[in-house]
Amino acid sequence: MKIRFYNAKILTMESNAEIFDGEVWVEDTRILYVGNGENKEEFLKKAGIVCLLWDEEIDCEGNLLMPGFKDAHTHSGMTLLRSYADDLPLQNWLNEQIFPTEAKLCEEDIYEASRLAVLEYLTSGITGIFDMYLAPEATGRACKEMGMRCALVSGLNNFTQSPEFMEKMYQTYHLDNEDSLLSFQLGVHAEYTCSKELLEKTADMSHKYKAPVFMHLSETEAEVKACRERYGMTPVQFLDSIGMFEYGGGGYHCVHMDEKDMEIFERRGLHVITNPASNMKLASGIAPITEFLKRGISVSIGTDGAASNNCLDMFREMFLVSGLAKVREKDAAVVEALEVLKMACVNGAKAMQSADCDALAEGKKADLIMIDLQQPNMQPLQHTAQNIVYSGSKQNIKMTMINGKILYRDGKFYVGVTPDEIYRNVNHILRRIKETQG
């Protein structure tokens, strides 16, 4: 399939935010050409292409093409629990509401909930997700069928999954994987849901495969305090002491980090995946984004699950990353919009180990979105990149393409299933769950 996008404004995110007028050509799953169009003949000659016939030519009508957003921390299956247990602190929310209800979910439930999540990701311009949940194979199946790029990560803990299962998944979806859409990373749910033995086994597996490890980390003050009581160290320091981070990885949330924690992140090259809406709604706190950036620590952005934030909206997350950092530091100049765009597009791809999806460039994966600039919130066109972060919304997503396939365009989905079917299925599941609760 060969598609030519022309009459577009282009933001490549390669090294800066310079926007130019030009074209993007896609051949099958990859980007063939990005440029202003003036060197097309030279490019064709250099590439040895005598005649290029298009399957489709799309007039972008002056709208913006850019890399898709990467949701670097999410739980797709939790769409079933949207608005299910609101207005509770994290530990009460988890232990009294979420965990007991999740115990009633089967793999098919999680599959259907993940399909619902994919629809929402596409409407938000999300072209890749880093997903941790109870049944990763179910989420992976939903993503593969619908065309969503997904890096699965183990949610190993004392109650679900096992080191043997995690290793099998890693071998299947990472070492022996031939699927361009699915991958797998080692992980644990959190320090506080895992025994020391389980954490040490995970660290050993990381050493065996020289692989990074990811987990929920330092999300609340209570979590950090409890770990200090158990091990005399913060979660970051304890996990580092058992060798968990020798091959990289990172943490989701990272709200309550002290000086030594940040030094470990800097020295190990670890990723911070911040989740501002979830942390704000659960009153967990505001992550020290400015300090991370000063230290050169890579920061990417996640929505978390729909049970805690409650929507999978990268525009809201981008605004909050910058806005909350300004409030925390009492300085309107910190965490500029362009830095936030880098977190959402480039850094997220790196955290997910998907470096070929981070920018619009020749040879990169064709994961791109079209931003509708012909909406009031994008006018006037004087600082388009800033408008995306500070005034952009889902209404501006005109098209989402993943792996060279248009999956969402002008309000319609092209994912092999109708939204109505998914809506019926998830509401049927929710009714069943409520009936079992009496």
Tokens of 160: 């679900």
Q: What pLDDT does residue 307 have? A: 87
Q: Report which listed range, 34-38, 98-102, 116-120, is most confident.
A: 116-120
Cα–Cα distance, 127 to 345 (Å, whole number): 9
Judge whether residue 178 has pLDDT over 80.
no
Q: Hey, what amino acid is at 316?
A: R
Residue-wise pLDDT for 232-252, tens only, equals 999 999 999 999 999 999 999
Judge whether residue 356 has pLDDT over 90.
yes
- What secondary structure does DSSP assign to 334-372, as a single string? SS-HHHHHHIIIIIHHHHTT-GGGSS--TTSB--EEEE-
Judge whether residue 397 has pLDDT over 90.
yes
For 75-86, what is the mean pLDDT?
Answer: 89
Residue 436: pLDDT band (50, 70, 90) is: confident
State the chain's maximal CA–CA distance in angstroms.
Answer: 70
The total of other beta-carbon atoms located within 10 Å of residue 349's CB is 30
Structural domains for the chain: 2-67+357-413 (2.30.40.10), 69-354 (3.20.20.140)
Judged by average pLDDT, the poorest of 16-25, 83-92, 241-250, 252-261 is 83-92
Q: What is the model's pTM?
A: 0.95
CB-count exposure of residue 107 (10 Å: 0-12, 13-18, 19+): middle
Judge whether residue 208 has pLDDT over 70.
yes
Judge whether residue 13 has pLDDT over 80.
yes
Q: What pLDDT does residue 17 have? A: 67
Place of tokens 């439930």: 109
